Chains A and B, each alone.
Chain A
Amino acid sequence: MGHDKLSAMAPTALDGVRILDLTSEMGHYCGKLLADLGADVIKVEPPGGEPSRARAPFWNGEPGRETSLRFWYFNANKRSATVDLGQFDGRWLFGQLVKTADIVIEAWTAAERSELAEHGVDPDAYMEAQPSLIWVSITGFGLDGPKSGWQVTDLIAQAASGIATLAGYPDGSPMRIAGNQAYIVAGISAAQGALLALLQAEATGRGQRVETSMQEALSICQETAHLQWDFQGTSRQRIGEQHRIPGIGTYKTRDGYIYSMVGIPGFGAPWSALVEWMEEEGQAEDLTDPPYAETFASLNMRMLMDPEEQAKFASIFARVQDVLTRFYASKTSMELYEQGQSRRLLLGQVATPADIGDSKHLAAREWWLEFDQPTKLGSDDAHLRFPGPPYRMSATPTSIRRPAPQIGEHNQEVWVDEVGIPAEDLIAFAGEGAV
């Protein structure tokens, strides 16, 4: 699936679906997923460009509206048309554009949503005129309820969904998961909703409103915390590395870290396979002696989870931890990962972006996509090695058909050729700043 150039040959799953994407970073993953699946996604942005165009990281570290790697990643395959929804003419133009769309995606704040509705940018009104329209709202807390008017960011959503409290060290603060995961998960949830509504609309002719609450969508990542509360009336706490017996946890290696999950019954090769490996390398020291070997041959869930039970084995665990720490520290993360996995030991490299970028596995799978991305005026195109898709579909492969758009790059084709605004009118609209 490697791409030397942009491709547009294969059929796509969302052929013929037209989507208006009014979001910035809070919602742009939804439109990316749908655009990569073949939908015609038009970014509808204010004339100066939407805010995530100014977000780091930047190409060559140069800040600018046409150099954001973050923007490029989330907006490849989309087209850009500008319109000022703060102006009467802009709102009229937008109304004309909505008539050509199947799905609208927005991530407005509650205040923006009600102000726009007062000025006629009103989902219910559009949907009444156009019953098959699907209107997707990506929100922090939902469209109703006491917090529906609250401000949200990735950090706030992670805090409000019960997951930040589980991440980090017990003696430190709750932690945010990297990568704006609240925006990612909201985007995935909204894409599911949009597609469910599309299946329904294509079967019945009726569109509907779709609503994602970041708090709710992320809250399922609490794992068992809420379930434990329901059954036992206790709140799970972040544990960092507490109560980890030897073989389980994050260890320093020669060049980084390895995550080790050896010894849980039923998960990969048993502890003895790890000691065998250490022995072959001449690094098992005394771990083959009966007290150590026997303790680890009889590991059970109580020893894994119950601090009191673990206390009984404190001296044995301390010695084993010592030897194992030395063993892991003597090899690189990749050596441990590959050699351990070849022995069916559950080890995982704590990968940095460079490790992923240089991964021979991902390279062999031709995951990365290569294409040229235009940058700011007067600069050469950026040749990008671009992260690939989350899934491979055999009949309707996803692809990069076009790089991320520059601000208003497709104004002419969208407004004039597709919406039917006379070219001279568009010039007038541009003159007054409506596009």
Chain B
Amino acid sequence: MTSTTGTRPLDGIRVADFSWFGAGPIAGRTLADFGADVIRVESEARVDGLRLAQPQKPGKSGYNVCAYFNNFNADKRSFLLNMSAEGSREVALRLIERSDIFLSNLTPRMFERWGLTYEELCEVKPDIIAAYQPMQGLTGPHRDFLGFGAVLTPTTGISHLSGDPERKPVGVGTNYPDYAVNPGHTIVAILAALRHRRRTGQGQRIELAQIESVAATMGPALLDYTANGVNQIRKGNQSSWMCPHGIYRCADDPSGRERWIAIAVGDDAQWESLCTVAAGTSFASDDRFGTLLGRRRTEDELNAQVSDWTTSFDAASLAIQLQSVGVAASLVHDAEDMCEHDDHLAERGFYEYLDHPETDISLYDGPIVKLHDTPGYLASAAPLFGEHTFEVATEVLGYSAEEVAEFAASGVLS
């Protein structure tokens, strides 16, 4: 496990996190990892769906036991504020006035209704850095379309371009864009805006249209269309230049669990190295496969032969053997491999195990980038629902205990 004390680059920065579900809170989580005081605004009137999703701690129920939520919200403070209650906007604006960054993945309709547009935020905090993550952007004919990761995967071309060309494009099994691409781009923009603010005193609005953020990752395929008129289609695990390049079945483990190996051969020297490991197979001595061109011409046949060869091996051992001669290969990891059997991840201490009042010691992703001198870390597990409402209202917002009681009674802080 990494350290849990020490200077971090975002010490002293406060984030008013009005986001929910995945892409927004994950951006907030990275800011928290690197030192920001992230105040996650929640409400009983509008509970984050992830608090009620799976997986939940066995035998427990309620708002505080879902790892999906907890993982993305570690090291934040949970502050209850019901934006539908009369008087709530005043509290929201006070929080924003005392923050450096405003974060939201609400639909434009929603933050307009709440009176939290950039222009309105600037009235109380002229140098705010306001990051909005609307699905389709703040303008355009599809502005009010609904969606999240599961819908973005198809609408940005990822589904069409991923998987087996002979079968339906069913997506990639997860809400992929929500986890690294959209939160990651958001953080890059926020950090750049922080630098600009330090140098000039000027804040700004960041508009991350999620559809654009994901489409930007598909640049070469999009250019192939706009420049050449070529409309690419998915091609499974095939590469445009490496061969063989695929995922091959290995021997099942003793419990009958399917095991697979990924192999990527970039040049003829690596092919020769692979053939030393596969000495005695028919493909190892087949001259047709000696050159990249030859391998590409016979790719289906070659893949079938490689697949026949791997099928009797233990995938993890074969990957180690191939890597030892310089061939890129890896066991296809499932969750058990990631959490239990990858000595490398374990030695690096990537996963963090944090104690939490309701889920006990449980697993969290570590920071996704490593700074050697001022590393990120998780100072605390996920907050309980509303755990810090009083603390934030008094210490950050400066309300008296009586005022807090009034807000609570009128449903504002709930």
Closest to B376 in A: A196
* Minimum CB–CB distance for A167 against chain B, Å: 4
Contact (Cβ within 8 A) A195 B195: yes
A69 contacts partner chain B, Cβ-Cβ < 8 Å: yes
> A192: CB under 8 A from chain B?
yes
The minimal Cβ–Cβ distance linking B75 to chain A, given in whole angstroms, is 15
- B357 beta carbon closer than 8 Å to chain A: no
Contacts A69-B220, A211-B369; is A188 near B181 (CB within 8 Å)? Answer: yes
In the complex, which of the residues B57, B160, B189 contacts A350, with contact meaning CB atoms closer than 8 Å? Answer: B160
Asked if B242 is at the interface of the complex by the 8 Å CB criterion, the answer is: yes
Which residues of B are found within 8 Å of A176, using beta-carbon distances?
162, 237, 247
- Most chain B beta-carbon contacts within 10 A, residue among A33, A199, A258: A199
Return the chain B residue nearest A74 by Cβ: B219
How far is the CB of B128 from the nearest CB of chain A, in Å?
Answer: 11
Task: Choose among A167, A192, A221, A261 the residue that contacts B30 (Cβ–Cβ < 8 A).
Answer: A192
Interface segment, B91-99, B206-214, B398-406?
B206-214
Give Cα distance in the complex from A15 to B202, angstroms: 14
A47: interface (CB < 8 Å): no
**Contact flags (1/0) for A177-210 with B, using CB distance below 8 Å?**
1110100110011111101111110100010111
- Docked-complex contact B336 and A229, CB < 8 angstroms: yes
Q: Which residues of A contact B67 (CB under 8 A)?
A: 224, 227-228, 230-231
B3 located at the interface, meaning its Cβ lies under 8 Å from any Cβ of chain A in the complex? no
**A221 in contact with B195 (CB, 8 Å):** no
Closest-by-CB residue of A relative to B266 is A153
Q: Is A144 an interface residue (CB 8 A)?
A: yes
| B-side interface residues, number (CB < 8 Å) | 152
Q: How far does the alpha carbon of A231 sit from the alpha carbon of B54 in the complex, in Å?
A: 10
Contact indicator A175/B236 (Cβ below 8 Å): yes
B68-85: which have CB < 8 Å to A?
Answer: 68, 71
Q: Write the nearest CB–CB distance from B316 to chain A, whole angstroms.
A: 11
Q: How far, in angstroms, from A189 to B350 measured CA to CA in the complex? A: 15
**Contact at A192–B71, with CB atoms within 8 Å?**
no
Known: A70-B220, A259-B151. A163 touches B260 (CB 8 A): no
**Which A residues are CB-close (under 8 A) to B167?**
169, 172
State which of A86-94, A236-244, A282-290, A426-434 sits at the interface with chain B.
Answer: A236-244
User: Does B362 interact with chain A (Cβ within 8 Å)?
Assistant: yes
Cα of A36 to Cα of B366 in the assembled complex, Å? 28
Tell which of A33, A158, A351 touches B155, judged by Cβ atoms closer than 8 Å: A351
Partner of B185, one of A61, A167, A338, A391: A391
A349-B184 Cα distance, complex, nearest whole Å: 24
B140 at the interface (CB under 8 A from A): yes
Specify which chain A residues have a CB less than 8 angstroms from the CB of B196 in the assembled complex.
11, 13, 395-396
Residues of A within 8 A of B323 (CB): 147, 149-151
Residues of B with C-beta under 8 A to A274: none
Stretch touching chain A among B227-235, B281-289, B386-394:
B227-235
Check B245 against A185 for contact (C-beta < 8 Å): no
0/1 string, A8-43, CB within 8 A of B gives 1:
000101110000000000000000010001000000
Assuming the contacts A162-B337, A175-B172, A351-B157, asked whether A388 and B236 have C-beta atoms less than 8 A apart, the reply is: no
| Contact indicator B180/A55 (Cβ below 8 Å) | no
- Closest Cβ of chain A: how far from B263's Cβ, in Å? 8
Which residues of chain A are near B179, meaning CB under 8 Å?
220-221, 223
Contact of A129 with B by CB under 8 A: no
Determine if A354 is an interface residue (Cβ-Cβ < 8 Å): yes
Partner of A390, one of B26, B157, B175, B208: B208
CB-defined contacts of A353 to chain B, threshold 8 Å: 157, 160-161, 218, 221-222, 224-225, 230-232
Name the residue in B57, B184, B327, B333 with the highest tally of chain A Cβ atoms < 10 Å from its Cβ. B333
| Contact partner, A191, options B30, B140, B188, Cβ 8 Å | B188
User: B370–A226 contact, CB under 8 A?
Assistant: no
A29 CA to B261 CA, complexed, in Å:
27
Min Cβ gap B335→A in Å is 4
> Closest B-chain residue to A17, C-beta based?
B195
B34 contacts the other chain (CB 8 A): yes
Q: Which chain B positions have C-beta within 8 A of A179?
A: 158, 161, 217-218, 220-221
B45, CB-defined interface residue at 8 Å: no
Q: Are A211 and B54 in contact (CB under 8 A)?
A: no
- Of the listed stretches A114-122, A311-319, A364-372, A415-423, chain B binds A364-372
B371–A196 touching, CB < 8 Å:
yes
Q: Is the CB of A382 within 8 A of B227?
A: yes
Within 8 Å by CB of A226, from B54, B329, B347, B363, lies B363
In the bound complex, how far is the Cα of B339 from the Cα of A230, in angstroms? 8
CB neighbours of A212 from chain B (8 A) = 369-370
Q: Quick one: given A341-B142, A357-B225, are A350 and B154 in contact (CB under 8 Å)?
A: yes
Most A CB contacts (10 A, CB to CB) among B55, B170, B249 go to: B170
Given the complex, which residues of A lie within 8 Å of B397, measured CB to CB? none
- Other-chain contact of A175, B237, B261, B329, B362 (Cβ < 8 Å): B237
B351: chain A residues within 8 A (beta carbon): 226
- Chain B proximity of A11: nearest CB distance (Å): 8
A388 touches B212 (CB 8 A): yes
Q: Please give the distance in Å from A7's CB to the nearest CB on chain B.
A: 18
Interchain CA distance A189-B159 in the complex, whole Å:
23
Chain A contacts for B334, CB-based, 8 A: 162, 165, 225, 235-237
A37 touching B192, Cβ below 8 Å? yes
**B374 neighbours in A (Cβ, 8 Å):** 196-197, 200, 208
Residue of A nearest to B26 (CB): A220
Residues of chain A contacted by B266 (CB below 8 angstroms): 153
Q: Is the CB of B348 within 8 A of A142?
A: yes
Contacts A150-B323, A167-B163 known; A155 to B239 CB distance under 8 Å? yes
Inter-subunit contact B363/A361 (CB<8 Å): no
Contacts of A206 in B (CB 8 A): 373
Q: B146 an interface residue at 8 Å Cβ cutoff?
A: yes
Q: Is B326 an interface residue (CB 8 A)?
A: yes
Max count, chain A CB within 10 A of own CB: residue among B147, B207, B231, B368: B368
Cβ of B200: which chain A residues have Cβ within 8 Å of it? 11
When A155-B245, A178-B218, A208-B371 are in contact, do A228 and B335 touch as well, CB less than 8 Å? yes
User: Could you say which of A157, A167, A349, A357 contacts B222, with CB atoms under 8 Å apart?
Assistant: A357
Binding site for B on A (CB under 8 A): 11, 13-15, 33, 37, 55-57, 59-61, 69-70, 72-74, 141-142, 144-153, 155-169, 172-179, 181, 184-185, 188-193, 195-200, 202, 206, 208-213, 215-232, 235-241, 249-250, 252, 257-259, 261, 266-268, 305, 337-338, 341, 344, 346-357, 360-362, 364-365, 367-368, 382, 384-396
Jot down 10 A-B pairs with beta carbons below 8 A, ordered by A. A69-B223, A146-B344, A158-B262, A175-B237, A189-B184, A229-B335, A250-B171, A350-B169, A368-B226, A390-B213
In the A-B complex, list the 3 residue pairs whose CB atoms are closest, starting with the nearest: A159-B262, A395-B204, A178-B161
